[in-house]
A and B are shown apart, each in its own frame.
Chain A
């Protein structure tokens, strides 16, 4: 990717310091952005990325430091001033009114040329011009609520361009996009940089940052760790800069002898929420000591499959699910768990843990009624506390105590609580859905290590994930789902990113081809 950037800076932030009660969010941070450059800000949750751009956009004021825009010192007091200074911001959560059209959303907060009347036709025309020029295909007359997520994001970008933004901040713009939409977005962003704009791209996804950026600045605990360029660095090095220690992105997997099938799914057809067929006649098995990865773009039936295996969704007649040789197709979640199923749900805060419960209560959410935690019909808090403390220590859960409300823990630590609960039951079959989505690299690394350990103990794991690196790093075999079907099951040693990527897009291989 060639760099169009000149050496001239559009933005210079110098010595930015911002202290929140108890936390130094930014500690003497410097950031330069050149004209025509995509400059990525990389860091874990809480590293200070968002605070830095909030300061730039006037959403909060720095305690110390200066900002120069186009060589002039500025003090941004409010977002309105930022916009007037031609700074645009694409927030992680879209700032759009769903019931208004694209043109109306763009016009919101701008001055009409025909006051006191609106000039939506003029706006529409300019929106069309902008979308044509930058390849942002969107119909200005459509209501925003009818748009897909990727399209809504384009509207946000158009909004910024309509206001003639020359410095554009994108706060985790890919978090909500499918891989295809991410590719489209990157083409658009690169084109805007080539026009001479400066772009600040915030992410914690290493691969994206390496693909898109001209330069990368890594933040950790509010401080700049360093600034580098994709050609000079690697995923491993960036991860180390983010976390502050060496990180294994792909854990070592000991060889396991494939043995008995512990989870066996045959002829499974599942209807989705709208009664349409979400999963269409699939069969597979997972053996003891094996991780079966399920890859696929979100919405191709993975969620329904997971719910069916967990006993949360009914399956169509004819299909069967067996755990450790026993047919559990008609059983409820409780009896499947009693048969040895462990379940890490995709929606951590909705299905995995109860926010209002304490850490300890969530750790016994499944097994609270077991003999070891009750005595004479009452909960035995002594043994529950002992068990909880042991799990918190074993799984390195960062929490002030076991009686802390779970809602006050970070995402990664809540996930560790769920992991601890599910693994402590020594599952025969483990269903892990998006186990590291949105968690810090350090926690993700830990979760991966634990899943591998569980594999060594003989658990049959089915890992459903949209993170292709995760699936390829952990799985022994990879099942690719597309439109409710398993289009292929590929042994990991034969899997390449390109091959899996094509399968995820529904490109089915000819039977003889071993790789694409």
Chain B
């Protein structure tokens, strides 16, 4: 019981500690921390359209985060979110370019599905390499991130470049404007709240159902906890590792499609870097998943928090005239506090147990 309380309490305390740290930074910059908090809350939740913007920012984080929980629960460390987002975005863009005249009710699901396929392929490759050739998935996914950025740059500068850019000679690396039929429909007029938000939430719920309600998820978790016991029980460790990476990648790929077809520009653009397109959602999604305790449903509020940080930072910059980079710093500080809270939690549990206030089973273990 005490474990459960600590489990929820410690990440919250870590977040509070991180905000306290952020307040100190505001003070050193000569701004009032209370005014800063006010500006951030106002920026993130101050109006309907701002809440919508926060939700839209959180969407790729929810998707990547839900994918991360599937991979991590199977004990596969997927660091390839960036590459998987890009792969999903590219494939869905190609599909939208190829079939611009399909009606929206077909094209929108089709581009989302293509995103899932693209991301899934990019997840399956390192998954299969790990399962069948013992290639470390951390290395291979990071490498594939780099490969995918260059592949995106190549495609957007060459085969997929907007023909108008060639004619005009400006050669901005972007696709032509994509079919309106592929645009994600907005749910509320006057806001940017598009259908991608409920899609992401459904995907997170789906990830939860897969992991804890289906035989497939049972096998994934069994492999994650103990590949040896899973194998002896007749569960294929190789197949399930590949599957976990495929599912994880496909959720990232959907995020990629949403980034393209939920954007105001309605085209895919590169500034040469991965973050320029993904907004680092491939990495921040990992943070959101960890902050949500590797539970797909907790990943939703966790991703909202990080989305709020991103939208709030803009307002913070506008009102207090402090650099927007402060939000990035705050983001990083939360990561550090949350991640270091795991050992703190263990230490707290042990010292509470040693104090004899709580009667835990470890007190009596090993004393036969």
Contacts and interface: CB of A to CB of B under 8 A. Distances in A.
Contact of A343 (B214, B232, B235, B236): B232
B265 interface: no
Contacts of A343: 232
Nearest to A370: B215
Contacts of B368: 43-51
Nearest to B362: A408
Nearest to A357: B225
B359 A333 contact: no
A310 B367 contact: no
A352 interface: yes
B222 A365 contact: yes
Contacts of B177: none
A334 B232 contact: no
Given A350-B228, A369-B215, A379-B214, A333 B234 contact: yes
A332 B364 contact: no
A492 interface: no
B350 interface: no
Given A334-B234, A365-B229, A369-B215, 9 more contacts: A20-B364, A20-B367, A312-B231, A336-B234, A343-B232, A357-B225, A366-B233, A378-B213, A379-B218
Interface string A311-335: 0100000000000000000001110
A201 B359 CA distance: 32
A321 to B, nearest CB: 16
Contacts of B236: 332, 334
B226 A350 contact: yes
A439 B70 CA distance: 36
Interface pairs A-B: 7 shortest CB-CB:
A334-B234, A369-B215, A351-B232, A333-B234, A21-B359, A365-B233, A46-B368
A89 to B, nearest CB: 16
A24 B218 CA distance: 39
A22 interface: yes
A310 B231 CA distance: 10
B72 to A, nearest CB: 14
Given A22-B364, A45-B368, A357 B222 contact: yes
11 contacts: A25-B367, A50-B366, A312-B231, A332-B234, A333-B232, A333-B233, A333-B234, A350-B228, A355-B226, A356-B226, A378-B214
Interface centre among A46, A351, A366 (most CB of B within 10 A): A351
A480 to B, nearest CB: 26
A516 interface: no
A377 B233 CA distance: 20
A345 interface: yes
A489 interface: no
A231 interface: no
Interface in A5-55: 20-23, 25, 43-51, 54
A49 B367 CA distance: 8
B170 interface: no
B229 A351 contact: yes
Given A355-B226, A357-B222, A378-B213, A310 B359 contact: no
Interface string A358-389: 00010001101100011001110000000000
B321 interface: no
Given A351-B232, A366-B233, A377 B214 contact: yes
B218 A368 contact: yes
Nearest to A333: B234
Interface in B171-227: 209, 213-215, 218-219, 221-222, 225-226
Interface residues of A, number: 44
B42 to A, nearest CB: 43
Contacts of B364: 20-23, 25
A353 interface: yes
Contacts of B218: 361, 368-369, 379
A223 interface: no
Nearest to A351: B232
A469 B165 CA distance: 85
A249 to B, nearest CB: 21
A21 B215 contact: no
A350 B230 CA distance: 10
A312 B232 contact: yes
Given A21-B364, A47-B368, A361-B218, A345 B226 contact: no
Contact of B229 (A20, A336, A350, A378): A350
A468 interface: no
B363 A20 contact: yes
Contacts of A379: 213-215, 218
A351 B236 CA distance: 14
Contacts of A369: 215, 218-219
Interface string B223-256: 0011011111111100000000000000000000
B356 interface: yes
B232 A354 contact: no
A44 B226 CA distance: 29
A337 interface: yes
A378 B218 CA distance: 10
A245 B215 CA distance: 43
Nearest to B359: A21
A353 B229 contact: yes
